[in-house]
Amino acid sequence: PANQRPAVLDQGNCIVAAGAGSGKTRVLAVRYLHLLRERQLGPERILCLTFTNKAAAEMRERIHGLLQQCLPGEPVFAAAFANFNRAEIGTIDAYCSKLARNSCNHWGLAPDFQVDDASARRVTHDLALDFLLARRHQAVAAAYLAANGLEKAVAGLESLAHGRDGLLGLVADPFTDNPSLPDAFSPAVQRTRLLDQAAKLHAELQAGLQAGLELDPGSGKGIGASRWLELAAQFPAWDKVGAATAGFGATGAPDGATFLATAWQPLLDGSLPRSPAGADEASFHYKELRPRLVLLQPALRSILAALNDPLAADSLAFMYEFAQLAAAERVRSNTVSFADVASLARAALIGDRQLREWCKRQYDFIMIDEFQDDNQLQKDLLYLLAEAPDSHAPGVPLPEQLGAGKLFFVGDEKQSIYAFRNADVSVFKGLSRELADAPGGVGRHQLAINWRSEPALIDFFNHSFAAIMPPADSPGLAGHEAGFAPLGAGQPTAGVVPRIVYAETRPAPDSLPEAELEAWYIADRMRRLVADREPVAGAGPDGAKVARACLWEDMAVLFRKKTNQHLLERYLRLFNIPYHTVNSTSLFTESIFADLYAFLRLLVYPHDRLAWASLLRGPFLRLSDPGFGLIVADAETPAFAFPVQRLDQADQARYRQAEGWYRQLSTMADTASLAELVAWLWYSGGLRWNVLKDGRNQAFAEHFDYVWAMAVDADRRGLRLADFIDELAGLFNTVDKLENATPLRAESRGVALMTIHASKGLEFPIVFIPSLQLGKNSPRGTATRLDPDFGASLKRLGPDGEAVDQLAELAKALRKLQVQGDDLVVSPSQAEAYRLFYVACTRAASHLFLSGSQPKRAAGEDFRQMLVTAWDLAYEPANDSAAGLAAPASETAPAAEAPLKTATSLTCGAARLELHDIEPRRKLDYFRLHQRQAKPDPAILARAAARPAWQVRPQRRNWAVTAMGDQLAAVPSTRGRPNSPEFPGLFDAPDQSQVGKLLDNSQPDGRASAAAGDLNEADFGTLCHEFTSQLLENPERPPEAGQRLARLLKRLSEKRAAAILDEAHQLAGGFLASACGQAARRCFLANRAGQAGAVYHSEYAFTWRTGQGAAENFLTGAIDLLYGDASGLWLVDFKTDRVEEPEKHRFQLSVYRAAASAIFGRPCEASLFYLRNQRQLPSAALDDLESLLPGAASYWERLP
C-alpha cells in the first residue's frame, strides 16, 4: 500500500509508528528484501531483533516466504534464499546472550551459563534469608526487619537483584582499572541528587513567593497579604543555601540540611500563613499560590528527612554488601537473569573495544521490531552496535556519533504494556528527538491504517480512545503517556455485520454469584454464535477477506486478571465448548492433577493415607465401595500391602493390576526422569483413556500437557521425585496460573483463553474481554527500591517508631506534583491501563464482546470506567431488590456505582455499541444446566446405536436419601393422588394428630428464640446436633461449636452469639435428660467399655445397595444418632423444625432403618426427636421399601 512504501524506501535512520493491524511485519519484511537488492547484501549483514520468540519466528517466516516468492529473475534473492540459514533474526535477549558469552570471563562466569529468571531468583532468595539472619543484630538490619517482617524483607533484597539493570549491573565494572562505588549505592551521589532536587524545588518556591513582591499589596485592611510579603522578602536565595551545603557530611554534621530546614520551616505544616482574604493583586496571587505550596510540603519534608538520616550511608552499604554477595553467588551457580545478560552485553561493548569494533563491522543495518517494549539498557546496546565506523565513544555513543541510516525502529507507543518487565515507553517516544541529531537526520513514518479490523470496529476504537487518551500531538504529553491518533480503516468485508456488545450483571436476590453469571453468559454467547453460523471475516483463496461461518477457533477470551478464568473453564465444559489455555488456572483444582499427584506421592510416601485413599477411588484402581471400605479401615498398612484375598474377584483384578504398575514405577523412579514417570501414568497407566473416553472431556487432555511440562522443568532444575512432590503439594486447590511450564502444541483447538499480555501480536475474529470492572491491584509498598533518580533505598523503622522509606515518599510526592500540577497528565499506571485496554480491543477483527459488573469498590484504572467515560453512559439508581439494603451513607464507605441504564444501543459513525443486561440465574438453573449438559449429544447416540451391541454391566445409580425424600415429599401425589402407581402408599394420608402442630415461638421459660434471623434453620440444627453429640459423650464438659459454625457466629454480635449458643445448649441438654437420651448415653458407655453387642455412632455415614441388575440402586446418607445392644438398634433423627411433620420424613427414616438393619444384622426402630418441644415420635416403616425404590428413582430422574 502507498502509506507503507515511504517507510520501506527511506535511506536514513527511521522510526515507524505502526498501529494495531497496520501491517508492520510486512513492512519489515519488504524493507529487508529492499536492502538485500539495493545494497547487494547477504542475509547475515542485516540484524533483525524483536521482543519475543513468537515475533522472531513470525518475522523469519515472513521474510523467508517473500524471498521464495521473489526468486524468479532475482539472483540476489536466490543467493539470500540459499544462505538464509545465516540470517540474523531473533530476540534481543538471544543476541545479548551471544555477546555476553564472549565476555563472561570478565565476571568469572563460564560460557555455558544458564539464563533462567526463576532459578536466579531462587538462588537470591536463599542468600537473602541467610544474609538477614546473620546481620539481624546490626542497626540497619534490625530496623529493616522491624519495619517489614522477615518475608517482606527477604523479598525486598530479592527485588534489588531483579531491577532493570539486573544484579550484575549493580556491581563494579570489571573493565575499569579503578572501580568506584556504583552511583546507586554511593552516599555522595545520592546526597548530590537530593540537593539538586532541593535546588529545583527551592527555585520554584522562591519564584512563587517573590513574584508577589512586584504586585499591589492593597490597603492592608482585613486579612491581607502582608504576612506573605514578609515571608517572601525573608526567603533566602539558593546561592546562600548552596554555600551552606558545600561542606555537608564532611564532619558528619548536616549543616546544609539544617540551613534548608531553617529556610523551609515557614512553609511547612502549621507555619504556612493562611490564605489572604484581601482583594488586592498580591492577595489574589498568594491565594492561588498556597494550594501549590501545600502540595510541595511532602516533597520538602522527605528531602529534609533524607538529608538528616543518620543511617543513610549505612543503609546503602548494607544493600551494596548484599548486592555484591548475591552477584558472587549468581556467578558461582553459573545462573543469570535476562536483565543480567543485557547488562553484561552493554558493559562488554563499552569496555571491550575489540568486541565493539567487530560487532560494528558485522552489520550494515539493524532493524528492531516492537521497540516500545524495550528500555534504556537495550537502547544503549543498539546505539553501541550502530556507532559510526570512525567513532570511538568512551561510553554509549551520542546520536551524532551513530552511523547514517543504520537503525530502523518499529513500534507503537499505544501498545507498550510490559512495564512489569521493565519496559519503558518513554525511551521509544524519545527516539525522534534524539535521532534528529544523528547523521542524515531521522525519518518518521506513521502506519495508521488498520487492515485487520472491520471499519465499524475502527470507529469504535477511534471514538473510545480519543476520549480517554491524550492527542498524539499534545504539547504537554508526559514521557509515560501514549498519545492517540485516529486509525484509518480498510474495506469492509461483504456479509459481515460487526457486533460490539457490552453486557453487565446486576445483583439479584438468590442469584448465582455475578462472576458465574458472566461466565455463563460468555459460554452461552459462544454457543449461539457457532450454532447461528455467525459470519466473520476470513482469508479467501487470493488472500482477500471473505465472510465465512465462525468456528470455535475464531474466538478468544482475553483476561486482564485470571481470577475468574477457572469459572469460565467450568462453564465452557458444561456447554461442551472446546478450549485451550495459554496458562491454565483450573489445573490444580481438577481431578487429573490430583490423580497423577496421588500415584507419584505414594512412590515417595507409601504411608500417606490421603493419597492412598485417593488412588483407591481414582481411575487407576476404581475399587468398589466395599473394597474401598475394607482397605481404608486398615489404617496401619502402607500402599499395596493389603491382603488382596479379602477383596472380591473384580476388586482383586483391579488391585493386582495397579500393584504391578506401582512396583514398576517404584523401580523406574530410581533411574527415569520425572517427565517419563508422568508420561507412563498418562499413557501406559490408562489415565488418558479414562479421560478421553467421553469426548466432552477433551479440554482436560491439556492438563496432562501442563503437568508434563512442569515435570520437564523440574528435570531441568535437577529436582528429585520427593522435591517435585513437595512443590506440587503447595499448589492443591489454588487458581494460580502456571508461570514456568508451557506445553508444546502441534495445534491449538477450540476457544483460546489467555491474558491480554499473551495476546500481543495476535488477532481473532471474535474477542471477549470479561470482568471490565476489575482494576489494577493497589500497589504494595516494597521494602527496597532502586530509584532511577535517587538510587537505592529501603524502608526502616525510624526513631519515632514509624516504618518509612524517605526516598520512596519523595518519589511519590514528586509524581503527585507532576500529575496534579497538570490536569492533563495521568499517572504512569493509569496511562498503561489505557494502553492495555487498547491492545485488548484491537485484537478483534469482526466482533467484540465486553462484559463486567458493578464495581464493589473503587478499584481504579478499570476498563469499565474507561468505557463509561468514552461513551458517556447514563445510569439509573440501584433499587433495593437489585443492590441490597445499605447502611446510612455516614456509616459506610462510598456507595458502589449504580448499574448502567438499560439501552438498546449507542452509535458513533459505523460503530454501534449494544448494551445488554446479563440474565440473573439461580442455583436451580445451574442444576438444570448441569443435568442437561450431562446428557450425551444426540448425534453421538445415533452413531452409538448403529454400532454392534455388546453386553455391559448396568450403570450404577447413586442417590442421596435426604434429597430424594425432600423431592418425593413435594410431588403432586401428596395433594389428592395418594396412591400413585409408581410408589403406592408412600404418601398415604398421615395421622393428623402428629402433623401440623405449630411449635410455640417461645422457650419453656418464655424467652424468645435466638436462632431466628441469625443462623438459618439448617445451621442452627447442625449446631444443636453437634452439642447433643458432645453432651452424650461428656456431659460435664461445655459443648463448643465446630469451626464452620464458630466462624458464622463470630459475624454476629457477642450478645446474640451467646444467646444462640445458650439456646442450642438447652435443647441438647433437654435431649440428654430424656429417656431416649439416657438410653443413648448408656449405650455409649457400654460401647466404650467394650461390652459385647453395644453400638453407638453419631453422624453414622453409610452407602446402601438395593436391588439387583437393572434395579440396582445405591443410597447414601448419614444417621444422626444410632445406638443399641444385642437385642436391637434404635436410630434417632434430630429436628429443629417448628412444624411437626413426621410423614414428610417417613421415606428417609425407612431407608435409614433398612440400611442399619442390613449393616448390623439386627432389627432397628426409628424415631424423630423434635428438640424444640422435646417430643419423640416413632416413625412407621414403609411396607416393601425395596419395591418402591425403582419407581422413586425413576421419578427422580424425570425431575427438571
Do 1051 and 1122 belong to one domain? yes
Higher pLDDT, 988 or 657: 657
How does residue 269 score in pLDDT terms, banded at 50, 70 and 90?
A: low
Give yes or no for residue 536 having a pLDDT over 90: yes
- Are 453 and 844 in contact, with CB atoms under 8 Å apart? yes
Task: Burial-class residue 935 by CB neighbours within 10 Å (0-12, 13-18, 19+).
Answer: exposed
Distance CA 939, CA 329 (A): 62
Strand 46-50 and strand 365-368: the pairing is parallel
In-domain check, residue 791 = no
Per-residue CA distances from 927 to 310, 501, 574, 1194, 1200 (Å): 66, 28, 11, 18, 9
How does residue 14 score in pLDDT terms, banded at 50, 70 and 90?
A: very high
Helices (H), 795-871: 806-821, 828-841, 863-871
pLDDT of residue 1075: 92
Higher pLDDT, 160 or 851: 851
Do 296 and 343 belong to one domain? no
The CATH number of the domain where 763 resides is what? 3.40.50
In-domain check, residue 822 = no
pLDDT of residue 1085: 93
- DSSP secondary-structure letter at 510? T
pLDDT, one tens digit per residue, over 865-920 is 899 889 888 644 333 333 332 333 333 333 344 444 444 678 888 889 999 999 99
pLDDT of residue 1185: 67
In-domain check, residue 1104 = yes
Do 596 and 650 belong to one domain? yes
Do 560 and 588 belong to one domain? no
pLDDT of residue 886: 31
Do 600 and 733 belong to one domain? yes
pLDDT of residue 1107: 66
Beta bridge partners of 302: none
pLDDT of residue 102: 86
- Are 420 and 776 in contact, with CB atoms under 8 Å apart? no
Domain that holds residue 535: 499-568+757-775+835-885+906-917
Q: What is the pTM of this model?
A: 0.67
Higher pLDDT, 1065 or 747: 1065
Strand 545-549 and strand 535-539: the pairing is antiparallel
Do 280 and 354 belong to one domain? no
pLDDT of residue 1169: 94
Higher pLDDT, 1142 or 1165: 1165
All cell numbers assigned to 688: 488418558
Name the percent of the chain lying above pLDDT 90: 27
pLDDT of residue 833: 92
In-domain check, residue 1079 = yes
Domains in the chain, number: 5
In-domain check, residue 260 = yes
Do 378 and 431 belong to one domain? yes
In-domain check, residue 892 = no
Q: Of 424, 451, 478, which closes a domain? A: 451
pLDDT of residue 958: 63
- DSSP secondary-structure letter at 405? T
Task: Give phi and psi for 1170, each to the nearest 5.
Answer: -85, 110
Do 1181 and 1066 belong to one domain? yes
Distance CA 872, CA 869 (A): 5
Q: Lowest-pLDDT range, 196-210, 772-786, 849-863? A: 772-786
Do 1039 and 1100 belong to one domain? yes
3-state class (DSSP) for residue 975: coil
Distance CA 1040, CA 1037 (A): 9
All cell numbers assigned to 988: 398415604
Residues 6 or more apart in contact with residue 880 via CB below 8 angstroms: none
Do 976 and 1102 belong to one domain? yes
How does residue 739 score in pLDDT terms, banded at 50, 70 and 90?
A: very low
Give yes or no for residue 322 having a pLDDT over 70: yes
Give yes or no for residue 246 having a pLDDT over 90: no
Distance CA 536, CA 658 (A): 50
The CATH number of the domain where 63 resides is what? 3.40.50.300
pLDDT, one tens digit per residue, over 56-107 is 888 999 899 899 888 888 888 989 888 888 899 999 989 999 999 888 888 8
Q: Determine how many CB atoms are found less than 10 A away from the CB of residue 657.
A: 14
Mean pLDDT, rounded, of the chain: 81
Q: Lowest-pLDDT range, 721-725, 771-775, 971-975? A: 971-975
Distance of CA 620 to the CA centre of its chain: 33
3-state class (DSSP) for residue 356: helix
- Are 556 and 765 in contact, with CB atoms under 8 Å apart? no
Element (H, E) at 1032: helix 1017-1033
- How many residues comprise the chain? 1200
In-domain check, residue 513 = yes
pLDDT of residue 118: 79
pLDDT of residue 165: 77
pLDDT of residue 860: 61
In-domain check, residue 657 = yes
Average pLDDT score over residue span 666-688: 85
Distance CA 44, CA 61 (A): 16
Distance CA 164, CA 424 (A): 10
Do 770 and 726 belong to one domain? no
- Are 519 and 571 in contact, with CB atoms under 8 Å apart? yes
Strand 784-787 and strand 791-794: the pairing is antiparallel
Do 979 and 1121 belong to one domain? yes
- Are 1194 and 1184 in contact, with CB atoms under 8 Å apart? no
